[in-house]
């Protein structure tokens, strides 16, 4: 059993998001159990752990797509503007440009400003040449950049990304990682899941490590990768804990 008090070393910073004893059950099975953690106002958090550990669930609960069975998800400084990017982007059956102008419309941006802002975002994410193409025929990397451009337009205070690069080639992965760095520079709080230890080392300021639906470790990245306190996390970092 992990000593939970030993495993948590970053609870002191001002809180953006607090999970208080959050559990999630489905059909009598406990999929997440008694997860308490605090995320500070800035930085990049990587949620890691073996398959089925509950990473996506945790992120969906935090984003409000699911409600906890027990416990609470709290935003102490108020509900932020937030966006979520998925492994397989959910895009409308419209052009790349229209996907973006639609987002602006539902966010109450005046019609006269929408096209210029959408074009700016397409330009920023290297998608100007495919503006008129149906979003669903874009390549995987282009679709993911379009999903990021859509998030960019709402200038989120918190951005959740669930395995955003899992299906992409190295160039597309680099583009997504660069985009995440851009969000971070603009002040967006990043919360992301990844299976890729190399990617996590490149991006993470801190790591939340889950195993079997439990929070095992929440540490600064350097601590997690070089001196994780739990045996599970040490095995995971060595590539020995696959499920």
Ligand X SMILES: Nc1ncnc2c1ncn2[C@@H]1O[C@H](COP(=O)(O)OP(=O)(O)OP(=O)(O)O)[C@@H](O)[C@H]1O
Binding site for ligand X (CB under 6 A): 26, 31, 49, 51-57
> Structure tokens of 203?
């991006």
What is the spatial distance between Cα 213 and Cα 30, in angstroms, rounded to a whole number?
A: 8
Which helix (H) or strand (E) segment holds residue 179: the answer is helix 170-185
Q: How far is the CB of 31 from ligand X (least distance, A)?
A: 4
Are 140 and 163 in contact by the 8 Å Cβ rule? The answer is no
**CB of 106 or CB of 243, closer to ligand X:** 243
What minimum distance in Å lies between the beta carbon of 51 and ligand X? 4
| Nearest distance, CB of residue 203 and ligand X, angstroms | 17
Quick one: 30 or 95, whose CB is closer to ligand X? 30
**Closer CB to ligand X, 57 or 161, in the complex:** 57
Smallest distance, Å, CB 209 to ligand X? Answer: 11
Min dist CB 195 to ligand X, Å, is: 6
**DSSP three-state, residue 143:** helix
Q: At 83, give phi and psi (nearest 5°).
A: -140, 160
Considering beta carbons, is residue 130 or 192 the nearer one to ligand X? 192
Please name which of 86, 94, 118 lies closest in space to residue 105, comparing C-alpha atoms. 118
Q: Which is nearer to ligand X, 26 or 186 (CB)?
A: 26
Would you say 180 and 160 are in contact if contact means Cβ atoms under 8 Å apart?
no
SS3 label, residue 33:
strand
């Amino acid at each position: 059993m992990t000593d939970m008090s030993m495993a948590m070393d970053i609870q002191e910073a001002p809180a953006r998001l607090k999970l208080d004893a959050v559990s999630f059950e489905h059909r009598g099975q406990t999929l997440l159990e008694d997860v308490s953690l605090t995320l500070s106002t800035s930085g990049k958090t990587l949620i890691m752990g073996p398959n089925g550990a509950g990473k996506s669930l945790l992120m969906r609960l935090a984003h409000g797509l699911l409600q906890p069975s027990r416990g609470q998800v709290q935003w102490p400084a108020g509900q932020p503007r937030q966006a979520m990017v998925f492994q397989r982007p959910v895009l409308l059956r419209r052009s790349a440009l229209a996907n973006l102008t639609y987002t602006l419309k539902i966010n109450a941006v005046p019609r006269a400003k929408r096209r210029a802002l959408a074009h700016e975002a397409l330009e920023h994410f290297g998608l100007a040449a495919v503006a008129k193409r149906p979003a669903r025929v874009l390549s995987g990397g282009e679709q993911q950049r379009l999903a990021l451009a859509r998030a960019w337009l709402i200038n989120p205070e918190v951005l959740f990304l669930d395995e955003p690069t899992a299906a992409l080639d190295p160039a597309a992965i680099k583009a997504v990682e660069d985009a995440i760095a851009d969000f971070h520079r603009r002040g967006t709080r990043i919360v992301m899941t990844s299976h890729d230890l190399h990617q996590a080392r490149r991006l993470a300021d801190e790591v939340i490590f889950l195993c079997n639906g439990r929070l095992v470790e929440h540490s600064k990245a350097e601590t997690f990768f070089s001196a994780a306190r739990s045996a599970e996390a040490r095995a995971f970092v060595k590539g020995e804990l696959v499920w």
